[in-house]
Structure 1
Amino acid sequence: MVNLSTAFVVLAALCWGLSGGIGGILMADGWDAFVVSLYRGAIGLLFVLVWLALRPRGSGLASRRLWGWSAIAGLGVAGNFAFYFVSIAEGSVAVAATLMYCAPVFVYLVSFAFKLESPTPLKWAAIAVVMLGVVLLTRIYDVGAGSVTLVGAGAGLLSGLCYAVFIFGFKYAAPHGSPQAILVIAFAVLVTVLIWPADADQAVAVLSTSSWPLFVVLGVLGAGLSFILYIVGLKHTAPAVASILAMVEPITASLFGVVVLNENLVGLQIFGMGLILVTVTALSVTSSARRAQPLAE
């Protein structure tokens, strides 16, 4: 069961990585980033609704706290999807995926602000290394580089920040209901939020376009199947292991961008990507191990 759960987490990360590439293809064909995000979330909503219908016990839907924290999680995932695809449109899949992977850094910063975590020199050093990696990856030091715009870099970091909001919202909603109920509310909020900035004509045109199979695949891999696999897999996967396995997402997205979309990364960008991936993973593993230690004792 443990090996199967680990496989579920890997598959979820792989699906998320592929979804970035698929979104890149759609936006290269002229589709609006918000429309792409909307359909990704809407198809995800259908999946979790079926999951809730099949497993309705312990949903907690009568709890106000469940609704409140789930709504916050929904705002987080809406921003995560939208800013991620805006970052891809303004830069590249590889850069956007890696910047989004900075989410644990934002989790730490928010935890510091609310005194949920104690800041230490080692944590601040790790955050500084990640920021150096961001500078190298986005090449903001070279105005004429042209590979990533400031909007693309900012959107990528905001996608990570929004993912951190989703993590907090989901964490505080979890004691009040089932994961499927939380995701139903979160994705419903996502659809409600993203329907406003999305291009209305394009949103309708998706239903009759030849590109609709890609939208379906994006929704299934990027939201429907992946979130279910990840949550089920986490039940029997140590958080430290899950943090390492999560590296599959940015690596898959980067390979997709280079191989399929013909994106290029220079040496310093690859080095910056490595700094971010290794440091963020080490932060996540260290945090997970520390939280598990009192339980072991």
Structure 2
Amino acid sequence: MTSISTAFVVLAALFWGLSGGIGGILMADGWNPLVVSFYRGAIGLLFVLAWLALRPQGSGLANGRMWFWAAVAGVGVAGNFAFYFVSIAQGSVAVAATLMYCAPVFVYLVSFTLKLERPTLLKWAAIAMVMLGIVLLTRIYATGSGGVTLMGAVAGLLSGLSYAVFIFGFKYAAPHGSPQAILVIAFAVLATILISLSDTDQALAVLGTPSWPLFVILGVFGAGLSFILYIVGLNHTAPAVASIVAMVEPVTASLFGVVVLGESLAAVQIVGMGLILVTVTILSVASKS
């Protein structure tokens, strides 16, 4: 059972990595990042609604606290999807995915601020290493170096911060309701936020475009199946193992960007990426072991 559960987590990370590449293809075809994000979340909503219908027990839908924290999670995942695709549009899939992978660092910083976790020298050193990796990856020290714009770098970091908000919201909603009910509320909030911010004409144009299969694939694998697989798999997977296999997402996204989209990274950016991935993974494993 443990090996199957771990495989579920790996598949979820793989699907999330591929979703960045698929989103990159759609945006290269002229689709707005917010529209792409909306369809990813809206199709995901259909899946979690079906999951809730099949397993309605202990939903917690009558609990006000669950609704509040699930809505917070929805704001977080809306920001995560939107900023991630903006970062891809302004830079590259590899950079955006790696910056988003910095989410655990934001979780630590928020935990320190709220006094939920005690800061240590090791944790601060790890955070400093990640910051150095971000500088190398984005090359913010080299004006006009090309590849990553300031907006792309900021959006990538904001996607990680938004994912941290989702983690906190989901964590505090979990004692009051089922995962499927929390995700239904979260994705409903996501869809409401993103459709209100999107170009309505372009959002409607998706329904008649030849690109609609890519939107469906993005929603099915990037939000629908992936979130369900991840949560089900996490129930029987050691947190330390889950932290390690989560690296599949940025690695998959980076390979997709290089092989399919023809993106390239300078040597210093590869060093920065490696520094971020290794440090965040060690930090996550150490905190959950």
The code of the aligned residue for 1:181 comes to A
Q: For 2:15, what is the secondary structure of its paired residue?
A: helix
SS at 2:251's partner residue?
Answer: helix
1:183-194 alignment, distance < 5 Å: 183-194=183-194
Give a deviation string over 1:108-165, Cα, whole Å, max 9, x none.
0000000011011111110000000000000101001111000000000000000000
Answer yes or no: is 1:29 the counterpart of 2:32.
no
Amino acid at match of 1:271: V
Whole-angstrom CA distance in 2 between matches of 1:92 and 1:221: 20
RMSD: 0.4
Match of 1:116 in 2: 116
The equivalent residue for 1:78 is 78
Q: Deviations over 1:237-271 (max 9, x none)?
A: 00000000000000000000000000000100000
Q: How far does residue 281 in structure 1 lie from its aligned partner after superposition?
A: 0.4
Where do residues 45-84 of structure 1 align in structure 2 (5 Å cutoff)? 45-84=45-84
1:163-211 superposed Cα distances (whole Å, 9 cap, x missing partner): 0000000000000000000000000000010112211111000000000
Structure 2: how far apart are the matches of 1:197 and 1:154?
19
Distance 2:17 2:53 in 1: 28
Partner-residue secondary structure (3-state), 2:143: coil
Q: Which residue of 1 aligns with 2:106?
A: 106
AA in 2 matched with 1:241: V
SS state of the match for residue 195, structure 1?
helix
AA in 2 matched with 1:64 = G
Partner of 1:95: 95
Alignment partner, residue 251 of structure 2:
251
Shift of residue 279, structure 1, vs aligned partner:
0.3
Q: What CA deviation, in whole Å up to 9, does each residue of 1:74-132 have, x standing for no partner?
A: 00000000000000000000000000000000000000000011011111110000000
Partner Cα distance (2:14, 2:93) in 1: 14
Aligned equivalents of 2:182 and 2:166: distance in 1? 11
Distance 1:196 1:136 in 2: 36
Aligned partners of 2:100, 2:12: CA distance in 1, in Å?
A: 16
The C-alpha deviation readout for 1:265-285, integer Å capped at 9, x for no partner, is 010000000000000000100
Q: Identity of aligned pairs, percent? A: 81
1:109-258 counterparts in 2 under 5 A? 109-258=109-258
**Matched letter for residue 12 of structure 1:** A
Question: 2:268 matched to 1:268?
Answer: yes
Q: Does 1:281 align with 2:281?
A: yes
State the partner residue of 2:10. 10
CA distance in 1, matches of 2:283, 2:192: 34
| CA distance in structure 2 between the partners assigned to 1:158 and 1:240 by the alignment | 25
Give ranges in structure 2 of 5+ residues lacking alignment. none
What is the aligned partner in structure 2 of residue 295 from structure 1? none
The amino acid across from 2:166 in the alignment is F
Q: TM-score, normalised by structure 1?
A: 0.97
1:85 maps to a residue whose letter is: F
Structure 1: segments with no counterpart, 5+ residues: 290-297
What code does the residue aligned with 2:111 have?
A: S
